[in-house]
């Protein structure tokens, strides 16, 4: 394949982060958490963002999700540059292009599974008349059609995370960001949730980024990015690169022990 053909084949990134710097505090208390991160997320890819505690993973995730502003650098989501957007415009961008899955699920305890998903649609404003049917379909897709009227307190951890995924997907976001989605789950539920995330990423209009410490889920990754001390140290695609695959298998084996 020629370079030209490869360039033509490479899809346009849905998210581009260029030289992102984040500084917390001022003066003597100033801490630079991100020190110039370059990153792009491609449609159809499940990317795992890994790194030790304090390396800046969550801060980067918050910036990529437009809920925290970078100190310096440029961020573009679905073709929209975020640098000069107001807080409400950022909320609008989140609403229309970003889906979140949280470590602690962050479901609304007073709403049923179906209502939790509907709420994510409701904040978007006007919706098709068949929104309830779409919500049911979303829950059906994550295997919870039999639990639509169940409150979060009566759902297992895995089920809660599935509701959270259905909620994130309900608005059909371009970019889906997950913060340790398997951290609170047992192995079986963790695998199942990651299979679901992988399926979701295979929609070529969507990019999925998961922050994780969980080595058990490495096999689902199309791409693994390691961040250390505020900078990206490695960026590999194990399914395309034999060396990267070997690295991934070594990491997975270490994690298993």
Partner 1 sequence: MQARTAIEGGADAAAAGPKRRLRMAPKLAYRNLFHDKVSLFVTLIGIVFSVVLLSFQSGIYLGIERTIAAVLDQTKGELWVVPIGTKSVDDPSLLPGREKYTVLSVPGVENVETLSMGFARWRKQHGGATTVLVVGSDWNAGGLKPWNVIDGSVDQLAAPKMVAVDRTYFKDLDVKGLGDPAEINGMTVKVGAITNKIRSFTTMPYIFTTLGRAQIMLGAAQEQGSYALVSLKPDADVAKVQETIQARLPDAEVLTRESFRNRSINYWLFHTAAGSGLIAGTALAIIVGIVIVAQTLYASTKDHLNEFATLRALGASAGYIIQVILLQALFSAIVGYALGMTLTLGIFKLAENTTLNVVMTPGLAGLLFATTIAMCMFAAISAIFKVIRIDPAGVFSR
Tell me the β-bridge partners of 34.
Answer: 22
By C-beta, is 104 or 234 nearer to partner 1?
Answer: 104
Choosing from 72, 81, 124, 239, the residue that interacts with partner 1 (CB under 8 A) is: 124
Binding span for partner 1 by CB under 8 A among 59-67, 181-189, 215-223, 229-237: 59-67
Backbone φ, ψ for residue 232 (5° rounding): -80, 125
By C-beta, is 34 or 170 nearer to partner 1?
Answer: 170
Structure tokens at 134: 């779409």
Q: Which of 47, 37, 1 is nearest to 238 (CA)?
A: 47
Q: Which of 200, 126, 192 is nearest to 166 (CA)?
A: 200
Q: Which of 173, 205, 196, 208 is nearest to 41 (CA)?
A: 208
Site residues for partner 1, 60-99, by CB under 8 A, read: 61-62, 65, 67-68, 87-88, 91-96, 98
Choosing from 205, 240, 246, 249, the residue that interacts with partner 1 (CB under 8 A) is: 205
Binding span for partner 1 by CB under 8 A among 10-18, 182-190, 193-201, 221-229: 193-201
Q: Does 191 bind partner 1 (CB under 8 A)?
A: no
Choosing from 71, 72, 83, 140, the residue that interacts with partner 1 (CB under 8 A) is: 140
Q: Does 115 bind partner 1 (CB under 8 A)?
A: yes
By C-beta, is 140 or 186 nearer to partner 1?
Answer: 140
Contact yes or no for 22/71 (Cβ under 8 A): yes
**Separation of alpha carbons 34 and 32, rounded Å:** 6
**Separation of alpha carbons 168 and 99, rounded Å:** 4
- Per DSSP, the three-state class of 222 is coil
Q: Does 35 bind partner 1 (CB under 8 A)?
A: no
**Separation of alpha carbons 144 and 131, rounded Å:** 17
By C-beta, is 48 or 244 nearer to partner 1?
Answer: 48
Helix (H) / strand (E) containing 23: strand 15-24
By C-beta, is 81 or 108 nearer to partner 1?
Answer: 108
CB neighbours (10 Å) of residue 88?
8
Contact yes or no for 19/43 (Cβ under 8 A): no
By C-beta, is 66 or 244 nearer to partner 1?
Answer: 66
Q: Does 183 bind partner 1 (CB under 8 A)?
A: no
Site residues, partner 1 (CB under 8 A): 58, 61-62, 65, 67-68, 87-88, 91-96, 98, 100, 102-104, 106, 108-111, 115, 118-131, 134, 137-138, 140-142, 165-167, 169-173, 179, 196, 199-200, 202-203, 205
């Amino acid at each position: 394949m020629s370079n030209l053909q490869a360039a033509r084949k490479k899809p346009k990134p849905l998210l581009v982060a260029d030289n992102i710097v984040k500084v917390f505090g001022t003066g003597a208390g100033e801490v630079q958490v991100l020190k110039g991160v370059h990153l792009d997320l491609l449609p159809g890819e499940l990317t795992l963002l890994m790194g030790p505690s304090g390396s800046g993973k969550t801060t980067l995730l918050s910036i990529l999700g437009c809920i925290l502003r970078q100190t310096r650098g440029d961020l573009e989501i679905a073709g929209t540059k975020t640098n000069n957007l107001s807080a409400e415009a950022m909320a609008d961008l989140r609403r229309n292009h970003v889906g979140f899955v949280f470590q602690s699920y962050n479901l609304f305890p007073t709403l049923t599974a179906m209502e939790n998903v509907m709420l994510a649609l409701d904040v978007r404003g006007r919706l098709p008349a068949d929104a309830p049917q779409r919500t049911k379909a979303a829950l059906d897709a994550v295997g919870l059609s039999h639990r639509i009227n169940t409150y979060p307190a009566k759902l297992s951890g895995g089920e809660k995370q599935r509701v959270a995924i259905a909620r994130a997907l309900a608005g059909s976001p371009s970019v889906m960001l997950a913060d340790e989605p398997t951290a609170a789950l047992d192995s079986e539920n963790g695998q199942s949730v990651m299979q679901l995330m992988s399926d979701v990423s295979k929609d070529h209009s969507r990019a999925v980024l998961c922050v994780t410490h969980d080595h058990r889920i490495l096999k689902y990754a199309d791409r693994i990015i390691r961040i250390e001390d505020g900078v990206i140290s490695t960026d590999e695609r194990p399914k395309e690169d034999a060396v990267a695959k070997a690295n991934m298998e070594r990491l997975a084996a270490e994690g298993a022990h």
